[in-house]
Structure 1
Amino acid sequence: MQVDFYHLTATPLDRALPQIAAKVVDSGARLLIVSGKEDQRVDLDRLLWTYKTDSFLPHAQAGAGDDSLQPILLAGEITQANAARHIALVDGEWRDGALAFDRTFHFFEDEHIRPARDAWRALGSRDGVERRYWKQTDTGRWEQAA
């Protein structure tokens, strides 16, 4: 299991998340996006339809239809409803339930740096967990720092 920590400093979530979501879907995999903030889920729902003028990312809000059919599912809590093996935690809050997935993308901003560091340290002692920390350069590109 792999956990990728993305510290959002130069690129906001609304630019970073669609890129990763597109790569997951393009690979044939499914993604669960989790935020405990309803307004953030509503904003992300809109974003995934419009992030590019020539395409969209197929998705739905949990409970809006048949969740099992959704390549990307937006939810307020961790669920296996769409059989995703990838999960994105986008509200800055770490959830140990993410360890049930093959790959976790943990996005956080400066206001969540302390809990992200705590999660990083706690995961260091877990068997079978590979941690990677991604930081942004001055030009906004991502580079693996740990």
Structure 2
Amino acid sequence: MRVDFYQLSRDPVDQVVALLARKVMGAGAKLLVVSGDIAAHEAISKTLWAQDGSAFLAHGPAGGPHDARQPILLSDNCSAANGATMVILADGKWREDAAQFERVLLLFGPEDTAAARDLWRTMSGDDTRDLHIFKQTPDGAWREGR
């Protein structure tokens, strides 16, 4: 399993989720976006529908009648009724059941940096997890770093 840590410093969570979701959709995969914050779900949904000049990113809230057909599901847990192989943990909180996915993208802001570092240390001893960290540059690009 691959775990990508995304250290947010410039752009808000909803914009980063939309950027990453577009890449996941471009790769032909399905996605689950998890956050325990319902207000975050609303902001993410709004951003996924309104992409600057680009096609919107079709999605829906988990628990609906068409979950299995949704390319992107927004949920408060890691149950992927759409068969997603990738999950974005948009609230910066690790969930052990995220380990069922091929790839996990953990987004964390400055307030969660200490917890992310502790999680990295804990996971780095597990050879089954391929860890990567991405940091945002002042111009908005992402680079892999340490």
TM range (shorter): over 0.9
**Which consecutive unaligned segments of at least 5 residues does structure 1 have?**
none
Equivalent residue number for residue 99 of structure 1: 99
Contact 2:15 2:44 in 1 (8 A): no
**Which consecutive unaligned segments of at least 5 residues does structure 2 have?**
none
Query: How many percent identity over aligned positions?
Result: 38
Deviation at 1:139, TM superposition (A): 2.0
Deviation at 1:134, TM superposition (A): 0.6
Deviation at 1:63, TM superposition (A): 1.2
**Is residue 56 of structure 2 the alignment partner of residue 56 of structure 1?**
yes
State how far apart, in whole Å, the 2-side matches of 1:38 and 1:141 are. Answer: 28
Number of aligned positions between the proteins: 146
Equivalent residue number for residue 126 of structure 2: 126
Deviation sequence 1:29-50 (CA, Å, 0-9, x none): 0000000011111221121111
Contact 2:14 2:40 in 1 (8 A): no
State how far apart, in whole Å, the 2-side matches of 1:54 and 1:131 are. Answer: 31
Compute the TM-score of the two structures, normalised by the length of structure 1: 0.94
State how far apart, in whole Å, the 2-side matches of 1:26 and 1:65 are. Answer: 25
State how far apart, in whole Å, the 2-side matches of 1:47 and 1:65 are. Answer: 23
State how far apart, in whole Å, the 1-side matches of 2:142 and 2:47 are. Answer: 21
Contact 1:94 1:115 in 2 (8 A): no
Aligned CA RMSD, in angstroms, stands at 1.2
